[in-house]
């Protein structure tokens, strides 16, 4: 399909800008004046709409079909939330509006903070971080500020991270100026407590743990882990990527965690938008509250809502204003549709995952034979050894059956990993259709491995050469100098009706 | 209990599924959770609402906000009330874009991958740079990201930020800097703009010099001279720019900047009480392997046809872990897509016209206010769409009083700059009309007695 720049014709435009007369002329000094106009596309409005509509047909979302991408919690995104976020009082509200003119927005944020405190079992919440990984980094800044306040910041330089962790954890540690200490996974898929004991001491600042882990397993030794860290004077950080498993069932604060980030775009249904926006609020134990980002959203004695900038121990700001407000609207709306029934949401997510696991565990390898939480990890190790079919091949073949593949090759501790997360919103028929396809593919791997190797067969493109993309990076359109590659075929469309 | 509209399992489904699993109850699925950390009561939350009740509740909350459709607003200071065309909503509401994840499987995601490639092209065209990422969280965090690039590119231990850079941006840079091992040094402004000689002195041994064009006061900085001062000292010049100024103001790539970045909101996003928006970040080719976040590249498929993939992933956290160029994973793709649709809607002509409208209307506002005795703070400087003006009394009180007359006259900037308690920052976008500006002048006269 052509790029929008390749459809551009000089002289066309989609916009008309009001140009009132009688305004004073402004002379921009020559050295500051634009010398050559940017080559933005020139198209009429219909061609704009068609271009992006065509692009959308080459994309797959939850609205299109089943999207069991592990660790991403691809649940239904309620359409009403998209309407609510466009209410003028939300969409057109300026972040520097006086507090008296923003009471509805501040109240919504305050209510969401209260809800997240209850769900996580902690006392104070900041909604400011823009995504999970920024929540992590903010959490680590809080850890640093907490130990600095206690005069222990020079001493405590290490952050312990299990080998099953998301890559964001170690990356955040580096950005916060800490050192990573790795810890192994034991034979049951829990953190290896013996390995851990030898690695936690007076130099440890905190643990970063996802629980349930990226293996989809709840750590059975969580109480002992908490004793080890708190016993050493260190803090506990909870990566909330997998919170969808335990809402109303087990709370991070009750497990002993001191800081939690919540991925609003996972558990609380902010649509992921092809890569964002997200929201990564953090909830903390009361001793960490003084260090939270400014401004805090508070309710005053008279019941009015306000922004509190007077937090002398605060780490500062991690993002502009008070965070991604539109994300808060959607997640608040989602939660209000459940209330205490959030527990039912998590139960359904866990039931769906275990059902799929039960149907699939004989056809694929199961590295840890336990019940799972909201997701599970299979391995295509045997398929690879016996038939040469890899996790990647299975993933690509699933596309032929109309499904988005699961997460593959993660977590790193499982070879040929296939990480499946159905979420609570899927019907049993959908789960069955996916399981049927997975079983069929395992059989195909034995009988017709080329079907997997050459997949996908029905997408707008076949497998793409990622090595070429990285070795000779072409990261923007080159206009006259652009490499002349044949455009990929148009998506398959229904045959046009004849003779209307 | 009534079946929840977002849940699909029936009682029969549950029974059959439990049988397949080989457990007798849903409760048993949670047997790995130690008894000591089980939550043994109901969540203390208000009862579930129906969609109708939810809609009424949120509509009521929204009605307690005073937005720019209910009062005439001249607020800016980083977030601006530019027009967002209907085509932006239409494209962003396509479920295939709205409800997709990050495009890890390119065959399923050619739509968004090609769109990001087109977005990267648009950002490079605007800024005159070689490479753009797929977006960052906002205009503040991309500036912190750029400090991380500069730190590793130069191995130096401080960054210079001009004081005339938006305070939100400076505060976020200061929050991030200690973790990067960077000290932050601020260069004061002289009469509304930054003196290149001050920058030259401060830039010695600095990793980067960050300045804003137009700056927080709306004034045009001597940007080419600031960039040259940074380059002379071996520091990376980083320009924080307003995307909608780049139809009339020079592209940072043309005056020697290493990195150009900024807040994308003005181009295609609603103000939305501060987010979600997108931050854009573009750089010269030299820094392509140090860029934070996602980048889309063009390649070919097995049949030799053109296609798009996430590329240069060895920079990223899921591969490089603690050695990654950033921890970012979720970015702001949907908002950046809104930016691309908006810039496509504008085209080069429209972009220039929006810039000219901002210049003309804000000059008219300055003139009208001056006629009523409100002098611009930096009268001799050229401004783009925003300007600082003295109102003769506490500006916060002026805001409150003017709002009672239905006009939000701007941002009281005294909160961020000492000695400016009587100063308003007035933003005038292409949405404002001369008649509305006359009304601003009238109301300010009434409440501040100019």
pLDDT at position A221 over 50: yes
- Which residues of A336-468 form beta strands (DSSP E)? 376-379, 407-408, 417-420
**Inter-chain touch A14–B87, beta carbons under 8 Å:** yes
Identify which of A282, A276, A492 has the alpha carbon closest to the alpha carbon of residue A402.
Answer: A492
Structural domains in chain A plus CATH codes: 57-77+343-486 (3.90.1150.10), 83-336 (3.40.640.10)
Nearest-by-Cβ selection for A98 from B6, B180, B400: B400
Provide the CA B226 distance to its chain's centre, in angstroms. 23
Distance from CA of B221 to the nearest CA of A (A): 9
Q: Which of A117, A219, A274, A458 should we substitute to test contact with B (largest number of B Cβ atoms within 10 Å)?
A: A274
CB atoms within 10 A of CB A233: 16
pLDDT of A486 > 80? The answer is no
A492 has a pLDDT exceeding 80: no
Question: Phi and psi for A298 in degrees, rounded to 5?
Answer: -130, 160
Structure confidence at residue B450 (pLDDT) = 53
Q: Is the pLDDT of residue A500 over 50?
A: no
- In this prediction, residue A491 carries a pLDDT of 54
**Interval B46-56 mean pLDDT:** 98
pLDDT surpasses 50 at A301: yes
Assign domain B72-84+347-448 to its CATH architecture. Answer: Alpha-Beta Complex (3.90)
**Percent of all residues in chain B with a pLDDT value above 90, rounded to a whole number:** 96
Q: Are A29 and B247 in contact (CB < 8 Å)?
A: no
Share of chain A above pLDDT 90, in %: 96
Residue A250 touches partner B, C-beta closer than 8 Å: yes
* DSSP-based helix, strand, coil % in chain A, nearest 5: 40, 10, 50
The average pLDDT across A112-120 equals 98
Q: How confident is the model at residue A235 (pLDDT cuts 50, 70, 90)?
A: very high
CB contact under 8 A, B175 and A318: yes
Distance CA(A411)–CA(A166), nearest Å, equals 8
Q: Which of A33, A40, A294, A391 to mutate to test the interface with B (most CBs of B within 10 A)?
A: A40
Instruction: Please report the pLDDT score of residue A488 as a whole number.
Output: 67
- Which DSSP category does B3 fall into? P
Which of B273, B321, B430 is the best mutation test for A, with the most CBs of A within 10 A?
B273
| Domain boundaries of chain B, sorted by first residue | 72-84+347-448, 87-340
Q: With CB atoms and an 8 Å threshold, state whether A344 touches B85.
A: no
Q: How far apart (Å, rounded) are the C-alpha atoms in residues A146 and A258? A: 11
Residue-level pLDDT at A490: 60
Which pLDDT band holds residue B24 (cuts at 50, 70, 90)? Answer: very high
Question: What's the rounded mean pLDDT across residues B23-35?
Answer: 98
Residues 6+ apart with CB under 8 A from A153: A144, A147
As a whole number of angstroms, the distance between CA B4 and CA A91 comes to: 29
pLDDT digits (tens, 9 = 90+) for B185-236: 999 999 999 999 999 999 999 999 999 999 999 999 999 999 999 999 999 9
The pLDDT of residue A289 is above 60: yes
pLDDT tens per residue, range A247-270: 999 999 999 999 999 999 999 999
Q: Who among A42, A136, A348 is closest to B9 (CB)? A: A348
| Distance in angstroms (rounded) separating the CA atoms of residues A317 and A340 | 32
* Confidence at residue A493, expressed as pLDDT on a 0 to 100 scale: 46
Structure tokens at B315: 């920079």
- Note the pLDDT of residue B23: 98
Residues in chain A: 500
Could you report the per-residue pLDDT of A273-283, keeping only the tens digit for each? 999 999 999 99
In angstroms, what separates the C-alpha of B12 from chain A's closest C-alpha? 10
Residues A120-175 pLDDT 10s? 999 999 999 999 999 999 999 999 999 999 999 999 999 999 999 999 999 999 99
Listed in sequence order, the residues at least 6 apart from A239 whose beta carbon sits closer than 8 Å to its beta carbon are A132, A136, A165, A166, A168, A169, A208, A209, A210, A261
User: What is the average per-residue pLDDT within B419-442?
Assistant: 98
Contact with chain B for residue A304, Cβ under 8 A: no
A199 vs B: CB within 8 A = no
Closest to B120 (Cβ–Cβ): which among A27, A67, A476?
A: A476
| Chain A: closest CA distance from residue B71 (Å) | 10
Q: What is the band of B318 on the pLDDT scale with cuts at 50, 70, 90?
A: confident
Of all residues in chain B, the one with the smallest CA distance to A137 is B327
Residue pLDDT, tens place only, B91-123: 999 999 999 999 999 999 999 999 999 999 999
pLDDT in tens, B346-398: 999 999 999 999 999 999 999 999 999 999 999 999 999 999 999 999 999 99
Tokens of B80: 């601006």
- Contact yes or no for B9 and A352 at CB 8 A: yes
Q: Does A420 lie at the interface with B, CB-CB under 8 angstroms? A: no
Query: Are A80 and B55 in contact (CB < 8 Å)?
Result: yes
Residue A496 has pLDDT above 50, yes or no: no
Question: Is residue A497 pLDDT above 90, yes or no?
Answer: no
Tell me the C-alpha distance between A392 and A371, whole Å: 25
Q: What is the pLDDT of residues B253-308, one digit of tens each?
A: 999 999 999 999 999 999 999 999 999 999 999 999 999 999 999 999 999 999 99
Q: How far is B165 from chain A (nearest CA, A)?
A: 13
- The answer to whether the CB atoms of A465 and B299 lie below 8 A apart is yes
Residue A395 has pLDDT above 80, yes or no: yes
Whether B72-84+347-448 and B87-340 share one fold: the answer is: no
- CATH for the stretch B87-340: 3.40.640.10
* Mean pLDDT on B121-138: 98
Compute the average pLDDT of residues B176-180: 96
With the CA atoms of A390, A395, A396 and A397 taken in that order, what torsion angle do they form, in degrees rounded to the nearest 10?
Answer: 90
Contact B79 A4 (CB under 8 A): no
The shortest CB-CB distance from A24 to any of B5, B95, B363 is to B363
Q: CA B244 → CA A266, A277, B264, B347, B352, distances in Å?
A: 33, 22, 9, 12, 8
Model confidence over A324-364: pLDDT tens digits? 999 999 999 999 999 999 999 999 999 999 999 999 999 99
pLDDT of residue A378: 98
Average pLDDT over residues B244-252: 98
Residue of B420, B429, B428 whose CA lies nearest to B167: B420
Across the A:B interface, residue pairs with CB atoms under 8 Å apart total 731
């Amino acid at each position: 399909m052509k790029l929008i720049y390749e459809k551009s014709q000089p002289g066309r435009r989609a916009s008309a800008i009001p140009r009132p007369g009688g305004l004073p002329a402004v002379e921009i000094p020559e050295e500051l004046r634009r010398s050559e106009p940017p080559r933005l596309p020139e198209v009429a409005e219909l061609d704009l709409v068609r271009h992006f509509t065509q692009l959308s047909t080459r994309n797959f979302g939850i609205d299109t079909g089943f999207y069991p991408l592990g660790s991403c919690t691809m649940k239904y995104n309620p359409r009403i939330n998209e309407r609510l976020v466009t209410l003028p009082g939300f969409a057109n509200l300026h972040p520097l509006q006086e507090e008296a003119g923003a009471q509805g927005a501040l109240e919504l944020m305050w209510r969401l903070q209260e809800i997240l405190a209850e769900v996580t079992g902690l006392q104070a919440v900041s909604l400011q971080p823009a995504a999970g990984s920024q929540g992590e980094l903010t959490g680590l800044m809080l850890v640093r500020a907490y130990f600095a306040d206690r005069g222990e910041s020079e001493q405590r330089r290490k952050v312990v991270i299990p080998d099953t962790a998301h890559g964001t954890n170690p990356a955040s540690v580096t950005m916060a100026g800490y050192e990573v200490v790795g810890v192994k996974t034991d034979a049951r898929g829990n953190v290896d407590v013996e390995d851990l004991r030898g690695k936690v001491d007076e130099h440890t600042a905190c643990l970063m743990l996802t629980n349930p882990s990226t293996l989809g397993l709840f750590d059975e030794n969580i109480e002992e882990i908490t004793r080890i860290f708190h016993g050493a004077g260190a803090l506990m950080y909870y990566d909330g990527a997998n919170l969808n498993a335990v809402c109303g069932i087990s709370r991070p604060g009750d497990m002993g965690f001191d800081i939690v980030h919540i991925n609003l775009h996972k558990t609380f249904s902010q649509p992921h938008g092809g890569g964002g926006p997200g929201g990564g609020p953090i909830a903390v134990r009361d001793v960490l509250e003084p260090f939270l980002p400014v401004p805090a959203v508070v309710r005053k004695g008279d019941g009015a809502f306000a922004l509190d900038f007077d937090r002398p121990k605060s780490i500062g700001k991690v993002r502009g204003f008070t965070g991604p407000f539109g994300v808060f609207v959607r997640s608040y709306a989602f939660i209000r549709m459940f209330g205490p029934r959030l527990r039912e949401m998590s139960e359904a997510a866990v039931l769906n995952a275990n059902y799929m696991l039960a149907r699939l565990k004989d056809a694929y390898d199961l590295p840890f034979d336990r019940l799972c939480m909201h997701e599970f990890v299979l391995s295509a190790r045997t398929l690879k050894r016996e038939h040469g079919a890899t996790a990647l091949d299975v993933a690509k073949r699933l596309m032929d059956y109309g499904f988005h593949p699961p997460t593959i090759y993660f977590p790193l501790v499982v070879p040929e990993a296939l990480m499946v997360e159905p979420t609570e919103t899927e019907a049993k028929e959908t789960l069955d259709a996916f399981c049927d396809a997975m079983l069929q593919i395992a059989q195909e791997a034995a009988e017709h491995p080329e079907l997997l190797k050459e997949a996908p067969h029905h997408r707008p493109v076949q497998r793409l050469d990622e090595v070429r993309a990285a070795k000779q990076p072409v990261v923007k359109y080159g206009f006259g100098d652009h490499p002349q590659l044949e455009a990929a075929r148009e998506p398959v469309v229904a045959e046009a009706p004849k003779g209307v | 209990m009534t079946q929840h509209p977002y849940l699909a399992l029936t009682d029969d489904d549950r029974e059959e599924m439990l049988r397949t699993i080989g457990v007798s109850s849903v409760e048993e699925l949670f047997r790995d959770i130690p008894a000591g950390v089980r939550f043994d009561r109901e969540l203390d939350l208000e009862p579930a609402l129906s969609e109708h009740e939810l809609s009424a509740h949120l509509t009521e909350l929204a009605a307690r906000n005073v937005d720019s459709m209910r009062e005439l607003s001249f607020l800016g200071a980083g977030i601006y009330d530019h027009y967002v065309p209907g085509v932006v909503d239409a494209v962003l509401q396509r479920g295939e874009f709205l409800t997709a994840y990050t495009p890890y499987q390119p065959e399923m995601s050619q739509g968004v991958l090609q769109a990001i490639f087109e977005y990267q092209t648009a950002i490079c065209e605007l800024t005159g740079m070689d490479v753009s990422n797929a977006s960052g969280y906002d205009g503040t965090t991309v500036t912190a990201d750029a400090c991380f690039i500069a730190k590793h590119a130069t191995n130096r231990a401080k960054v210079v930020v001009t004081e005339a850079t938006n305070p939100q941006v400076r505060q976020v840079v200061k929050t991030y800097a200690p973790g990067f091992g960077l000290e932050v040094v601020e260069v004061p402004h002289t009469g509304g703009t930054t003196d290149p000689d001050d920058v030259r002195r401060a830039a010695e041994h600095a990793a980067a010099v960050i300045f804003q064009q137009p700056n927080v006061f709306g004034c045009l900085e001597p940007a080419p001279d600031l960039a040259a001062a940074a380059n002379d000292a071996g520091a990376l010049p980083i320009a924080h720019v307003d995307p909608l100024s780049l139809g009339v103001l020079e592209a940072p790539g043309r005056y020697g900047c290493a990195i150009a970045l900024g807040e994308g909101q003005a181009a295609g996003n609603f103000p939305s009480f501060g987010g979600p928006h997108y931050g854009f970040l573009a750089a010269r080719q030299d820094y392509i392997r140090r860029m934070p976040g996602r980048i889309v590249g063009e390649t070919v498929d097995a049949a030799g046809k053109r296609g798009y993939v996430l590329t240069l992933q060895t920079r990223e956290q899921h591969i490089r872990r603690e050695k990654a160029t950033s921890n970012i994973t979720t970015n702001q793709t949907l908002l950046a897509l809104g930016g691309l649709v908006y810039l496509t809607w504008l085209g080069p002509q429209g972009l220039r016209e929006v810039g000219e409208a901002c210049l003309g209307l804000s000059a008219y506002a300055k003139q009208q206010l001056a006629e009523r005795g409100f002098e611009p703070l930096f009268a001799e400087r050229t401004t783009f769409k925003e300007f600082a003006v003295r109102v003769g009394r506490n500006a916060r009180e002026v805001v409150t009083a003017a709002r009672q007359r239905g006009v939000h006259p701007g941002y009281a900037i005294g909160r961020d700059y000492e000695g400016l308690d009587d100063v308003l920052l007035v933003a005038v976008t292409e949405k404002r009309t001369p008649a509305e500006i006359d009304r601003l002048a009238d109301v300010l006269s009434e409440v501040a007695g100019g």
